Structure 1
């Protein structure tokens, strides 16, 4: 059979083999890519953990135990152990008192074991088991029975514990009285730094004659009697405190040159006070310093309070050695027998030509312009003051003895008290109402200290009764000398903040939170201040 020519032959099917090779190549490339990817990212490989025969299984955590509930649970061993431990502690005290030291030692040992078991149970968060509790409960029960068998019965225990409680109360009361007494002593003592400052200033006053001449010129200045200016009075023997009052007032005044300050001090502090205010500038404000000993009209025949201050029986009652613990510590403050403290009742006599004046205590700091006080309408009243009856203990009956019929017939015991420290006085109305005469009357009525003890506020409440205009609370915020929790917003909004109390800002026992409010107005650049206070 003859072959067909080549052109007539059927073509060979090679297309299929080409596709096979193409697929094989693609698989090879994909395998290579997968190999490279897995080789470079071993962390992506998922491996099943294999648990060996000796693999450690994690302990199953128990749910946390509320140990407080466990102690309160009447059926728990923790409760039983706690009760036995409390009873055992009482018997330890009784055993020691009866000199049974061996029993006391055994009880103490079991108490420590009980405490250790309770602490372990609390830490592990599991209740105490019967196996753990039974030995301690049994041994404690035996020792408690042993103590009871030694006649330490419940009655003895109660009497002993009662005597211990009474002794502790007595010690606590004694410590409280002693602490108050020592705190009062610290508050009364003039710090060494202020004494140093006073000595340096009095030395300048005595040596420098120009200072004395300058003081005489200021005394005769027409500004001190000009009713078109704003007048402030301060009665103090504390130079630094008075300086802060003046400085804070002028620093916050819109027109400090229109301010006039009238300072009255005692003979001992007069020279140093003059030297300080003559050698320091207070933004052009006028400062007049007077000596109380030059007020010849202020004598025992005119002022009943002077008679009481000079009375030896009164001084012995409050300051005698045998009265140290009998008299309330705060009443033993020397300021109560200081005439400077009572001078506020004689303002119209001291400044007979003035019509209105603002009285400032030496433990205040002024934070706002006080000249607006002079334009307030007092509605015919004499005294403008901030009332303090937001607290019940600032009612009249807390200051004055209302068991006296003279008091109870004229005054309301629930009347609202008010504060000294920042007061605006209408001196024209004062003279018209003759308030000073009212003050004298009540001082004479209280010659035997039966209406009130000491201080200036009780007689002021009587003398200014019905003559006081309440001011907005923000004019005068009190308590910075004893209250550590005054709201910062109230302090910031206050025109005057008052460090009334024993923790004065110039003392080391001052409340640290408030002290910077006072220190910012201290002239710390003065060389004497740096020598005496800073160094």
Structure 2
């Protein structure tokens, strides 16, 4: 399982792809996570350092012709000329990588090299020698390209998994300020445990991400007076979170910050829950009957910590759970009047992944073949029903049984909530804003909740540009700490 900022990501049964939109060569763009041509469309810029690139091309060609010319006694003068040009270009390019640093006489050097190459091309030579040298150079270049591709993939994953400098700065500044000034402390609110109010639960280790969730929910609420938010975080981010929500107000809503490490409930495996984990995300793919690979939407599901909710909130009977990578665009009050018919959890289902398509992972476990998988992001939970059916106990038992399998968290969650899902209307949530470039903009505008599931979170530089605006407008642009840490950039 591969960790990602805010979530964990895993592939189940390989990769797959689909296509859409033309690329630069006239082919079709691969509409998938990491697609280069779609990224290029979004980030196209004028070519920089074109002269350096031209010099490299000339050096490549000169090296291909030089061995053949050097073997001809009659072309000794041309051989010397080519060698001198090659050595000069190698010296320049070993020291310089940008056009602005090139020497003034570089244009003349380029013209001399071009003339030498033209002479070499006009000389009758053994084409096999030229071809052989070109292939050698090509192989070396291909190896270099593969190296940079692997390096780029590594750096991409590093960027995804690493907290941006601005967010780290914010967390540190808030933590220091908390211990410097205790005047922010307030009395505990009775609302925290009042079952008659509307309680929202959020697991997060990201101050800004959690703030956007709370702010966007409150801004669109018809009545914020009865809203209570519970932000569960880890010890490292607890004091930063606490100060942020003490110094900021969100209309009439109240926010409780809890350190998950201090709760110490009686759970199944303390080693498994030693560190806060966020909703788990999977990219699921498999072959169709004609053996063609098919890509499916990312499936995100609960982390181990979600199964502690009935113990953490013993006085509550119903909560709405929001992931830290969502933005709320409409009033959610209708969720509290849902009649879920005795079901434990309300969730948007994704029927592109059904249980029978994961049968190789489910072994002897009984399951309904056509059952759809479900998504975290926006979930309504009947805690009373959860306790009656001992859902947490069932989950931990299944985790133990499938712990050695790929995607064990997904499989355990799917089996645990089998027959206990109340399907929410798909119009409640639009998912994929963290990986899918091809989402319908009108659909995004109409959705009640936007889910940025995927690697490209809106608070990262890697975030998909055209979706970032929906998230950024709920930042507190006038906040001193955000400004000093460049969070609003």
- Aligned counterpart, 1:382: 344
Deviations 1:371-398 (Å, cap 9, x if unpaired)? Answer: 11111222221111111224xxx33466
What is the alpha-carbon distance in structure 2 between the residues aligned to residue 426 and residue 275 of structure 1? Answer: 31
From the superposition, tell whether residues 103 and 353 of structure 1 become closer, same or farther in structure 2 (CA, over 3 Å). Answer: farther
- Aligned counterpart, 2:388: 432
What is the alpha-carbon distance in structure 2 between the residues aligned to residue 442 and residue 165 of structure 1? Answer: 53
Q: TM-score, normalised by structure 1?
A: 0.59
Residue 407 of structure 1: how far off its partner (Å): 3.1
Unaligned runs of 5+ in 1: 1-91, 107-139, 312-335
Deviations 1:445-485 (Å, cap 9, x if unpaired)? Answer: 133x22535xx433221211221121111111111111122
What is the alpha-carbon distance in structure 2 between the residues aligned to residue 415 and residue 354 of structure 1? Answer: 29
Does the 8 A contact of 1:235 with 1:341 survive in 2?
no
* Secondary structure of 2:225's aligned partner: helix
- Aligned counterpart, 1:515: 468
- Aligned counterpart, 2:168: 195
* Secondary structure of 1:417's aligned partner: strand
* Secondary structure of 1:477's aligned partner: strand
Does the 8 A contact of 2:265 with 2:311 survive in 1?
no
Q: Does 1:445 align with 2:404?
A: no
Aligned length: 360
Structure index of larger Rg: 1
- Aligned counterpart, 2:196: 228
Deviations 1:118-177 (Å, cap 9, x if unpaired)? Answer: xxxxxxxxxxxxxxxxxxxxxx9x979x647x8x9xxx99xx98x999988877766554
Q: Among residues 207, 214, 228, which one is paired with 1:239 in the alignment?
A: 207
- Aligned counterpart, 1:407: 363
- Aligned counterpart, 2:182: 209
- Aligned counterpart, 1:248: 216
- Aligned counterpart, 2:268: 303
- Aligned counterpart, 2:229: 261
Residue 412 of structure 1: how far off its partner (Å): 4.4
Q: Does 1:293 align with 2:248?
A: no
The correspondence of residues 258-407 of structure 1 with structure 2, limited to 5 A, is: 258-298=226-266, 302-304=267-269, 306-308=270-272, 341-390=303-352, 394-396=353-355, 402-403=359-360, 407=363
Q: Which has the higher contact order (CA 8 A, sep 6+)?
A: 2
Q: TM-score, normalised by structure 2?
A: 0.65
Residue 179 of structure 1: how far off its partner (Å): 3.1
- Aligned counterpart, 1:182: 155
What is the alpha-carbon distance in structure 1 between the residues aligned to residue 360 and residue 365 of structure 2? Answer: 10
What is the alpha-carbon distance in structure 1 between the residues aligned to residue 397 and residue 451 of structure 2? Answer: 30
What is the alpha-carbon distance in structure 1 between the residues aligned to residue 355 and residue 138 of structure 2? Answer: 37
Q: Among residues 411, 420, 436, which one is paired with 1:483 in the alignment?
A: 436
From the superposition, tell whether residues 309 and 356 of structure 1 become closer, same or farther in structure 2 (CA, over 3 Å). Answer: closer
**Which structure has the highest helix share of the two?**
1
Unaligned runs of 5+ in 2: 1-59, 79-120, 276-299
What is the alpha-carbon distance in structure 2 between the residues aligned to residue 528 and residue 485 of structure 1? Answer: 35
From the superposition, tell whether residues 103 and 368 of structure 1 become closer, same or farther in structure 2 (CA, over 3 Å). Answer: farther
